[in-house]
Amino acid sequence: MAQLALGNVSKTYRPRGKEQVQAVKRVSLDVKDGEIVALLGSSGCGKTSMLRMIAGFEEVTEGTIRIGGKEIHNLPPAQRDVAMAFEGYSLYPPLKVRENIGFALLRERGASADIEKRVSHIAELLEITDILDRYPTVISAGQQQRTSLARALIRRAPVSLLDEPMSQLEPQLRAILRARLKDYLIEHKMTTVFVTHDQTEAIALADRIAVMEKGELQQFGTPAEIKQSPSNLFVASFIGEPPMNIFDAAIASEGNAVAISGLGPNGEPAFRLNAPMEAANGKRVCLGIRPHLIEIGANGSADATGRVITNHWLGDQSHICFEIGGCSVVGVTDKPIDARAGDALPVRFPLGAVHLFDAESGRALAHGLGQR
């Protein structure tokens, strides 16, 4: 049984005197017991609205939310067994950091020695031991954020919801705390949904990622599934840095084979497949390939010639921007490439690395195109 299950959940805000906003559209999501799930998407796509509905701070407009099989979406927040770290921290100003963190345990009538021990432990984990006796108004935003995170984590609630829990931290500290947070969540088998707009954070922390855009769930899968088999053009271009190269192309059936022609002047990039693709025949498609899977400077068997626009060595990899048939393409290599702007470079697109999408709907048609 899923620990947390959202069934066709929608949220429409109807602010007085303003246009209504459909913030979440029919989202269904099953989070397993002890699973860590990331809600990933750009600002305004409905992530906070989702968390607030699960916690009970916003009503669902339509749909159901269950925890352990029991419908909870009509219960008040205190009866939902959910702990939440808010995007805006919401600390109690009259209470010291230490009291803010321990407050919920006190309310649950924990023994005070035990509470103290747990507060010190979580404070150490999040590097806020030195501010435990300060008040929220005199600590930095990053410290407030960690206090809020500590207050949610310490409860080890059946479901924990963390809204952008580390957005205020500088990258180094964020990377360290990310690893500790993951260990803590796993150690206590905490079912967790966290919100982030940072794909590195989502990939590093989550068992599965829910990619959202404009209130809709685009794909729900493991980091590897989302990266290797993006379900549509949005997910394909949203995940991965630098983003996937996307070309407009056309597919034409040739007996038992299929030719894919790029829309460049010489039809670059062009491929021939051995399997007929009925679903795609005659269709306008988008062809995608990730920058680090393009083979640059390939000897023989090149698919196209690229004209170098820029070539930068970043210390551990090269980012090369080149032009093929009017399209600009980015390639990444782990070795420096000896080429300057204007040079011609042979380029190969390994078939296994090519994705096809329906140009109209954006839906994925194929991931990897088999053998040439």
Ligand X SMILES: Nc1ncnc2c1ncn2[C@@H]1O[C@H](COP(=O)(O)OP(=O)(O)O)[C@@H](O)[C@H]1O
Q: Which residues of this chain interact with Mg ion, rule CB under 5 A? A: 48
Q: Does 88 bind ligand X (CB under 6 A)?
A: no
Closest-approach residue to Mg ion (CB): 48
Q: Which is nearer to ligand X, 87 or 303 (CB)?
A: 87
Q: Does 172 bind ligand X (CB under 6 A)?
A: no
Q: Which is nearer to ligand X, 24 or 91 (CB)?
A: 24
Which residue stretch of 47-55, 203-211, 225-233, 364-372 sits at the interface with ligand X (rule: CB under 6 A)? 47-55
Q: Which is nearer to ligand X, 15 or 265 (CB)?
A: 15
Q: Does 196 bind ligand X (CB under 6 A)?
A: no
Q: How far is the CB of 86 from ligand X (least distance, A)?
A: 11
Answer with the entry of Mg ion, ligand X, none that 45 interacts with (C-beta below 5 to 8 A by kind): ligand X
Answer with the entry of ligand X, Mg ion, none that 245 interacts with (C-beta below 5 to 8 A by kind): none
Site for ligand X in 48-77 (CB under 6 A): 48-49
Indicate if the alpha-carbon torsion angle 40, 41, 44, 50 is positive or negative. negative
In 3D space, the residue among 329, 349, 357, 348 whose CA is nearest the CA of residue 229 turns out to be 357
Which residue stretch of 13-21, 240-248, 298-306, 354-362 sits at the interface with ligand X (rule: CB under 6 A)? 13-21
Distances (CA, A) of 311 to 63, 292, 326, 336: 51, 14, 18, 9
Q: Is 94 exposed, middle or buried (0-12, 13-18, 19+ CB in 10 A)?
A: exposed
In this chain, which of 3, 7, 12, 13 binds ligand X, going by CB under 6 A? 13
Q: Does 46 bind ligand X (CB under 6 A)?
A: yes
Q: Which is nearer to ligand X, 9 or 122 (CB)?
A: 9
Q: Does 135 bind ligand X (CB under 6 A)?
A: no
Q: How far is the CB of 146 from ligand X (least distance, A)?
A: 20
Q: Which is nearer to ligand X, 87 or 268 (CB)?
A: 87
Q: How far is the CB of 198 from ligand X (least distance, A)?
A: 13
Q: Does 40 bind ligand X (CB under 6 A)?
A: no
Q: Which is nearer to ligand X, 6 or 246 (CB)?
A: 6
Number of Cβ atoms within 10 Å of the Cβ of 134:
15
Q: Which is nearer to ligand X, 88 or 352 (CB)?
A: 88
In this chain, which of 25, 47, 80, 290 binds ligand X, going by CB under 6 A? 47
The site for ligand X (CB under 6 A) is made up of 13, 15, 21, 23, 41, 43-49
